[in-house]
Chains A and B, each alone.
Chain A
Amino acid sequence: MRLEIGNFHIQDVDFGETTVFENGLLTINKDEALRVVYEDDRITDADIVIARPNDPIRITPVKDAVEPRCKVSGGELYPGLTNNLVPAGTGRTHVLKGGCVLAVGKHWGGFQDGLVDMSGPGSYQTMFSYLLNICLVADTNEDDENHEQQKKNTALRLAAIRLSEYLGECIRDMEPDGLEVYDLPSPNELEDRVKELPRVVYVLQLQSQMIENGYNSLVYGWDARNMLPTLMHPNELLDGAVVSGSFMPSSSKISTYQHVNNETVKRLMREHGVTINFLGVIVSNLNVALEEKQRSAMRIKQIASSLGAEGAIVCEEGYGNPDTDFILAISEFEDAGIKTVGITNEATGRDGRSQPLVDLSIKANALISTGNVSQILKLDPMEVVVGELESLTRDGNSGGWDGSIKADGSIEMENNGIFCADANTGNHFKTVVEY
């Protein structure tokens, strides 16, 4: 299965007459772009704002991030959600690299929404401070949700995907700067020298704790809560088979942008045939009953064992009770002789002295830490706020509280509320050490 990702590196973004990519500059016809946004009647008021790295801009509440892309051949983007249900992961996909569409609430935020600072110390926290952000700032008529702490953010999340696809269209017929090729043959087609390398699987535990539809991560448009763990070709993931949900404190979430840019999977693909024999991605979930957790862990182990895995990396989208799924998967693997590395964030408390995970096992002896959700951040006022700063304290953001916003506009918050900051897909260079 072969996927070609054609990259078009953006140097800057601006508004203009036509939406076009030329000499590194992405020009956006704002009116035309907003017409795509307004295709959904639920969007009542929308604007597009550009936020560049090092700008004095604070963006919140951010609901999802989507990379501007175009499927040139071999399928459709986000199949089963915004497009037809067809297999993902083959053919050619064009990408406006370095650009990112952020779905931003004009007013309303919630538990699961995040904050991005484009400059200052807060900008180290998340990978999204390093991108050219095309912020879709919008209000919707989903009024019943305005005062709910848990929001599905459906209209805005889908609008961001439509906008990203609209932008991606302008590079459909162009020649990319460079081509990344992801080609992982089926086991019977492997060369003998590759067959001798250690066999490795990657496990992606998706957020699926909500019982009602509309909050959980989606796999080909299907609520991850409803599935048993399943084997996926890495290309499917890198080509949009998985879309982010709308639940979990923001720093622990995996955005749609990060799913298609999962750096751990990309690195495993590069190592395939060199140091390892990469068998594929096991997509799993994080449900809310112990039996469901045990069932998923059993299935993960069985799929990996049937494939003959000798090594595994397990990625957990979240913390709290999902630590049980994470520890169960690692324990099952280690018991089956599969050497495992886990990648997750921790909840070590504001003073850094608490137990890092709520569930523990000495079998989890190789872990990568991507952040402490309760790390306290004190951030100076920012000249420009895109969205509404009040949402940090008013709407139940997981990293904010009454008093998070100071009189001078500076803020004090927990890392919990920084947008997709801990990047358990391995896309960032933050970690936790002992002092």
Chain B
Amino acid sequence: MKKAIYYLNQFFGQIGGEEKADYRPDIQEGVFGPGMLLKNWLEPDIEVTHTVVCGDNYFGSKKDEAVEIILDLLENKTFDVFIAGPAFMAGRYGFACGEICKAVKETFNVPVLTSMNVENPAVEMYRKDIYIFSGGRSAATMRKDVPTMADFITRLLAGEETLSAREEGYFPMGIRGETFVKPPKMGADRAVEMLLQKLNDDEYETEIPIPKIDKVPIAPPLADLNKETVALVTSGGIVPEGNPDGIQSASATKWGKYDITGQGELKAGEWETIHAGFDPSAANENPNVVVPLDAMRHFENEGKIGRLYHFLYTTVGTGTSQAEASRMGNEIANELLEANVSAIVLTST
């Protein structure tokens, strides 16, 4: 039988009301309050072995301490899932449920989940990290919200396939993944039917919601470029012949840096592109068409820029996910900042 540990605040954990809100976290065997309901819904597959109780004010005012105490209390326990709440509209309780679930997930690598009302501010704070089921506004919906969570946990721990956030009833975590339309319905039929709905001004739901476009703060201009170090960075896959770092030709997760000291241009045969997303013939014939080292040297000699940084940074930008690209961009930017590089010419293909 799988094991669950349950988290409640002082009120639902039957310690007391607002006057007990400073209650220090502790753990006890068995279940209290809504734990009875949870236990009934989880049996016989999962046993709720322990309940952690913590006062909302204690958690709110001494968050780090509360988390540390609770993680210590859990240290020698065996459990397969950690459940908190429901917290309904309660802001402090919601924050505690979200924070402790996140910490337990990171520390013990077990599934964690809670339930809150859409208007609880903790939903936005934690929904990308943990399962937060969409619950009611008050304890009046306890008998609906707890079984929803229990049903999901049972299937999750049984290794059954779970459905999309909307179908399961938790707030979307921002993770897009493949699935198969059930019953099977081809893309063709979905497309034509969506078009008919759109033509008839009926409601329809796009399968790819367009995310908000990232705004990046605008860097202030440089006053005297002739006193600054400028670096060349490319996503065009220009590497020394032979690709010494084995940067992937698509869906790259690696970047490389290559010393260009003393080189006036990138010579064909010494440099090549390993980017699989475009016809490489022009770039291999003259790599400067992707990384304009010759032009940068020209402006360095002319004194338009103070100095060209002696490393060229390279990766491949085809099939490379935004997450990987951001990580690599951050890593490269940090190195360049440490090297006092103040501007970058980034060429992309």
Residues of A within 8 A of B (CB): 111, 124, 149-150, 198, 200, 209-212, 215, 249, 262-264, 266-268, 271, 275-276, 288, 310-313, 319-321, 339-341, 343-344, 346-357, 360-362, 364-375, 396, 398, 401-402, 414-416, 423-435
Residues of B within 8 A of A (CB): 162-167, 172-181, 184-192, 194-196, 198-199, 204, 206-211, 213, 246, 248-251, 276-282, 318-319, 321-324
Return chain A residues, CB-CB under 8 Å to B281: 211-212
Are A353 and B194 interface neighbours, CB within 8 A? no
Are B278 and A209 interface neighbours, CB within 8 A? yes
- What is the bound-complex CA distance between A382 and B199, given in angstroms? 47
User: Residue B321 contacts which of A350, A364, A371 (CB distance < 8 angstroms)?
Assistant: A350
CB-CB nearest in chain B for A248: B277
27 contacts between A and B (CB under 8 A): A263-B186, A263-B187, A275-B196, A320-B319, A340-B195, A341-B195, A354-B324, A356-B208, A356-B211, A360-B213, A365-B206, A366-B194, A374-B321, A415-B178, A426-B187, A426-B188, A427-B186, A428-B187, A429-B186, A430-B180, A431-B178, A431-B180, A432-B207, A433-B164, A433-B166, A434-B176, A435-B173
Are B251 and A416 interface neighbours, CB within 8 A? yes
Return chain A residues, CB-CB under 8 Å to B207: 367-369, 431-433
Are B188 and A351 interface neighbours, CB within 8 A? no
User: Residue B191 contacts which of A360, A375, A426, A429 (CB distance < 8 angstroms)?
Assistant: A426
- What is the bound-complex CA distance between A350 and B322, given in angstroms? 10
Known: A372-B176, A435-B164. A398 touches B251 (CB 8 A): yes
A238 to chain B, nearest CB (A): 13
Are B192 and A431 interface neighbours, CB within 8 A? no
- What is the bound-complex CA distance between A150 and B276, given in angstroms? 7
Are A414 and B210 interface neighbours, CB within 8 A? no
- What is the bound-complex CA distance between A311 and B194, given in angstroms? 11
A253 to chain B, nearest CB (A): 13
Return chain B residues, CB-CB under 8 Å to A271: 192, 196
CB-CB nearest in chain A for B317: A320
User: Residue B251 contacts which of A353, A368, A414 (CB distance < 8 angstroms)?
Assistant: A414
User: Residue A416 contacts which of B177, B204, B250 (CB distance < 8 angstroms)?
Assistant: B250
Are B187 and A370 interface neighbours, CB within 8 A? yes
- What is the bound-complex CA distance between A353 and B322, given in angstroms? 8
Are A111 and B250 interface neighbours, CB within 8 A? yes
- What is the bound-complex CA distance between A168 and B237, given in angstroms? 45
B203 to chain A, nearest CB (A): 11
Are A264 and B165 interface neighbours, CB within 8 A? no
Return chain A residues, CB-CB under 8 Å to B249: 111, 149, 396
Are A311 and B164 interface neighbours, CB within 8 A? no
- What is the bound-complex CA distance between A269 and B44, given in angstroms? 54
CB-CB nearest in chain A for B325: A354
CB-CB nearest in chain A for B204: A366
CB-CB nearest in chain B for A111: B276
Known: A264-B188, A356-B208, A432-B208. A351 touches B175 (CB 8 A): yes
Are B176 and A426 interface neighbours, CB within 8 A? no
Return chain A residues, CB-CB under 8 Å to B164: 433-435
Return chain A residues, CB-CB under 8 Å to B187: 263-264, 343, 368, 370, 423-431
Are B179 and A432 interface neighbours, CB within 8 A? yes
Are A353 and B208 interface neighbours, CB within 8 A? no
Return chain B residues, CB-CB under 8 Å to A428: 186-187
B178 to chain A, nearest CB (A): 5
9 closest Cβ pairs, A-B complex: A426-B188, A349-B321, A263-B188, A354-B322, A433-B164, A426-B187, A429-B184, A354-B321, A352-B175
User: Residue A212 contacts which of B163, B167, B276, B279 (CB distance < 8 angstroms)?
Assistant: B279
Are A431 and B179 interface neighbours, CB within 8 A? yes
- What is the bound-complex CA distance between A288 and B283, given in angstroms? 14
Return chain B residues, CB-CB under 8 Å to A416: 250-251, 319
Are B189 and A434 interface neighbours, CB within 8 A? no
Known: A351-B175, A398-B250, A427-B188. A311 touches B210 (CB 8 A): no
